[in-house]
């Protein structure tokens, strides 16, 4: 049974993540009164890229070619250890907790940066330095949020956190939780490269993350892109399942409830995507140096959550 659910979750995430991105792109275009591409456009893109020849820079070493496959498989591992459509641990669940998941995300980031440095392209280097300098400030936010949740639930296990949030209305309605939600939402916008931080155009002034994959082509680029979709899907799922709306996730093993929930989860994701699209079309992009102010505010919220916890009488 559990193995079946493992497979189900893997397929669910890997094959639905491009769809969510497609819906997002469609919605933002709609808000701008344009027709926009089909919501299946990311699938077409991937299909096209898999059928193209890949070109590798002369100066690049073997790392450059390996990294897309390694990072993609790391995303697959992450998929198996996070509460996406189940609130009970799947067979790989005990491998990592929140911090461990954060470490895998970090490792992926490092690998990508190394590969892009390896390509010796100026644009890739620019993207690496930008990602590093923002990441150096945004990582502590994520860590702080995990610590706060650790303080609340006395564990760092994402499944346990979800169960506590589902069952205890005292925690769900506490000020601490909402500060954490707000901080994580701000961090989410950074991590998924949404508007006030990053605009996805071909203008090098705005690009941060996508400059890293500048030199890739063919199936390597497809894997990079697909990994990016999975990353966004995972982060949004964590935000929904552990922070904002932890409800309805099945806590007992059962195929029917999981299947029903996977549709509910899609609806949850859809609502979050609508929120993102609204933000995307109302907020204008920050100048690169103003991003740090945004990061500082997000950090402040994450830290205030801990302070609220102590002020309302909590203790370690």
Partner 1 sequence: MKEAFVMVGFLEITLVIFMQWQVYLKKIVTTFSLSSYAISIFLFVDGAVLNNTNLLVLSALTAAVRGFFIPSFIRKKFRKEDYLEREIKSVVPTAMSVVLSLFFVVVGYIVYHATLYNSVGLPGGSIPIALLFQGIFLIMSRNNAFVQLIGYMVMENSLFLFGGYLFPELPLVIEGGILLDLNSSGSNRNSYDFRHYYET
Binding site for partner 1 (CB under 8 A): 175, 179, 290, 292-293, 295-297, 299-301, 303-304, 307-308, 310-313
The answer to whether 213 touches 225, Cβ cutoff 8 Å, is yes
Query: At its nearest, how many Å lie between partner 1 and the CB of residue 183?
Result: 11
The answer to whether 224 touches 52, Cβ cutoff 8 Å, is no
Pick between residue 164 and residue 305 the one whose CB is nearest to partner 1: 305
The answer to whether 165 touches 153, Cβ cutoff 8 Å, is no
Distance separating the N- and C-terminal Cα atoms of the chain: 39
Pick between residue 256 and residue 313 the one whose CB is nearest to partner 1: 313
Q: By CB neighbour count within 10 A (0-12 exposed, 13-18 middle, 19+ buried), where does 150 fall? A: middle
**Nearest alpha-carbon partner for 302 in 139, 148, 161:** 148
Query: At its nearest, how many Å lie between partner 1 and the CB of residue 187?
Result: 15
Pick between residue 43 and residue 178 the one whose CB is nearest to partner 1: 178
Q: Which residues contact residue 259 at a Cβ distance below 8 angstroms, ignoring those fewer than 6 apart?
A: 8
C-alpha span between 186 and 120 (Å, rounded): 32
Query: At its nearest, how many Å lie between partner 1 and the CB of residue 300?
Result: 5
C-alpha span between 113 and 197 (Å, rounded): 19
Pick between residue 46 and residue 180 the one whose CB is nearest to partner 1: 180
Query: At its nearest, how many Å lie between partner 1 and the CB of residue 236?
Result: 24
Pick between residue 134 and residue 195 the one whose CB is nearest to partner 1: 134
Helix, coil or strand: residue 271: helix
Pick between residue 79 and residue 174 the one whose CB is nearest to partner 1: 174
**Nearest alpha-carbon partner for 278 in 11, 8, 24, 104:** 24
DSSP secondary structure code for residue 82 in this structure:
S
Which stretches does DSSP call E strand in 16-61? none
Pick between residue 168 and residue 300 the one whose CB is nearest to partner 1: 300
Query: At its nearest, how many Å lie between partner 1 and the CB of residue 166?
Result: 23
C-alpha span between 165 and 149 (Å, rounded): 10
Query: At its nearest, how many Å lie between partner 1 and the CB of residue 201?
Result: 24
Query: At its nearest, how many Å lie between partner 1 and the CB of residue 143?
Result: 16
Pick between residue 129 and residue 300 the one whose CB is nearest to partner 1: 300
C-alpha span between 209 and 291 (Å, rounded): 14
**Nearest alpha-carbon partner for 55 in 194, 205, 221, 210:** 221
Query: At its nearest, how many Å lie between partner 1 and the CB of residue 299?
Result: 7
């Amino acid at each position: 049974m559990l193995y079946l659910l493992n497979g189900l979750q893997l397929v669910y995430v890997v094959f639905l993540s491009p769809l969510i991105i497609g819906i997002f792109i469609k919605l933002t275009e709609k808000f701008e009164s344009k027709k926009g591409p089909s919501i299946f456009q990311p699938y077409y893109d991937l299909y096209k890229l898999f059928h193209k020849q890949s070109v590798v820079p002369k100066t690049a070493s073997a790392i450059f070619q390996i990294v897309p496959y390694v990072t993609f498989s790391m995303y697959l591992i992450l998929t198996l250890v996070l509460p996406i459509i189940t609130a009970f641990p799947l067979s790989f669940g005990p491998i990592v907790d929140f911090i461990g998941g954060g470490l895998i995300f970090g490792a992926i980031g490092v690998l990508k940066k190394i590969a892009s440095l390896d390509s010796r392209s100026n644009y890739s280097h620019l993207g690496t330095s930008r990602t590093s300098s923002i990441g150096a400030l945004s990582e502590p936010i994520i860590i702080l949020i995990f610590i706060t949740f650790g303080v609340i639930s006395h564990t760092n296990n994402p499944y346990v956190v979800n169960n506590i949030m589902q069952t205890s209305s005292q925690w769900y309605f506490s000020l601490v939780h909402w500060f954490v939600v707000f901080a994580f939402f701000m961090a989410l916008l950074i991590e998924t490269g949404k508007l006030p931080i990053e605009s996805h155009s071909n203008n090098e002034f705005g690009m941060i993350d996508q400059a890293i994959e500048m030199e890739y082509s063919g199936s390597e680029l497809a894997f990079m892109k697909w990994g990016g979709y999975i990353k966004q899907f995972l982060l949004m799922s964590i935000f929904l399942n552990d922070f904002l709306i932890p409800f309805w996730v099945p806590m007992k093993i059962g195929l029917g409830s999981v299947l029903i929930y996977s549709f509910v989860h899609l609806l949850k994701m859809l609502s979050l995507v609508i929120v993102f699209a609204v933000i995307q079309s109302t907020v204008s992009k920050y100048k690169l140096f103003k991003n740090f102010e945004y990061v500082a505010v997000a950090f402040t919220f994450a830290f205030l959550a801990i302070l609220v916890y102590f002020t309302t009488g909590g203790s370690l």
